[in-house]
Homo-oligomer: A and B are copies of this chain.
Amino acid sequence: MLIGHQSWKFSTRPQILSTAVVGGPFEAQGPLAEDFDILHGDLLLQQKSWEQAEQMLLHEACDKAIEKAHLTKDRIQFFLSGDLMNQIISSSFAARTLASPYLGIFGACSTSMEGLALAALLVDKQCARYVMTATASHNASAEKQYRYPTEYGSQKPPTAQWTVTAGGAAVVGAVEAAANEAVDGSVIDPIAKDEETKGRLAVTSATVGRVVDMGLTDPFNMGAAMAPAALATIEAHFRDLDVGEEHYDLVVTGDLGKVGAKILGELMVRHGIHIPDDRYADCGLLIYGDNPAVWSGGSGCGCSASVTYGHLFRELRRGRWKRILVVATGALLSPLSFQQGESIPCIAHAVAIERDGDTP
């Protein structure tokens, strides 16, 4: 139900039944490589275009997530997906293959948590038993659409970010649904069957962000543009849920990168939010570590999706943390809005995830 002004609390604790993440060759060389389910050595993923490669990332993440949840495609009642491609074609093509009822969503790089928030809501309100949400981005398809073909070799400033080549999917379901089905024999509790998911994860609340636009216009510095949106959503979440910064073992932003994370740190202090360094992280900084080739860090729909559904959820299940808040950030610009001199509207959606039960 609605809590405060813009948050939902999920009393039935919708469960993350499974997640799957798929990455490209550059992600395979990064520090989180072990957290991917599938890694590709070929940036084209044996497809004919970058766009088809992006679709493949999404397809594979969805298929793998369904497999890990021990479900079949026809059990997925709703598929919520979005991506950076014009008219979110990667998602629509994935929805065509899945053949599940489909709700297209868009929040740029915040799409991952917009999808997870809505998926949890549908399950919490008994509007569905199983919902899958997914998103993906591909470095070359994003460069081609938003900037220049990579073959041009255009230079970028150090504030720029590197679009992550990855797809991530999560299957959300009710604990009751899984248990009931075990009784009627159709499915043995899908959660219990998966060794990896011994530490059960529940989606406990979500905060839907407002658009924040501080007038910044530089698409090569989206971290700076997005930092105030992250702050606004973190503040709103703490206010709506009536919790303090000590409530979460980790607050992780989507893809602010070095520049944006530094700005957010300063903004939080000014707004009286004190999160120690060891309890704050940014997906854009985690995915490639200190690699200077990515300038300020990673970005793209696949960034927060792959880091959250892969690395963060694995560590959460292993017992490293009890509860985390994922604040996925998105820059809602288009190449055309930039060309027409518009500033960059930004948003951040937050989802809280808790480990249920004993540490494995």
Contact = CB atoms under 8 A, between A and B. Distances in A.
A51 B342 CA distance: 11
Interface stretch (A19-27, A87-95, A180-188, A247-255): A87-95
Interface string A193-214: 0000000000000001111010
Contacts of A336: 51, 85-86, 89, 145
B211 A95 contact: yes
Given A6-B101, A125-B125, A127-B121, A345 B51 contact: no
Given A332-B92, A347-B102, A1 B107 contact: no
Contacts of A93: 337, 342, 345
Given A51-B337, A345-B95, A332 B104 contact: yes
Nearest to A1: B126
Interface stretch (A76-84, A157-165, A291-299): A76-84
A216 interface: no
B340 A51 contact: yes
A180 B52 CA distance: 52
Copies in the complex: 2
Contacts of A118: 103, 118
A216 B210 CA distance: 39
A114 interface: yes
Nearest to A99: B210
A96 B126 contact: no
A261 interface: no
B125 A114 contact: no
Contacts of A99: 210-211
Contacts of A127: 1-2, 8, 121, 125
Contact of A106 (B106, B128, B335, B337): B106
Contacts of A337: 51, 87, 89, 93
A241 interface: no
Nearest to A95: B211
A333 interface: yes
A51 to B, nearest CB: 6
Contacts of A101: 5-6, 208-210
Nearest to A92: B332
A145 to B, nearest CB: 8
B114 A104 contact: yes
A141 to B, nearest CB: 9
B102 A333 contact: no
B105 A332 contact: no
A108 interface: yes
Nearest to A144: B336
A233 to B, nearest CB: 9
Q: Which 4 A-B pairs have the closest CB atoms?
A: A92-B332, A104-B106, A87-B334, A101-B208
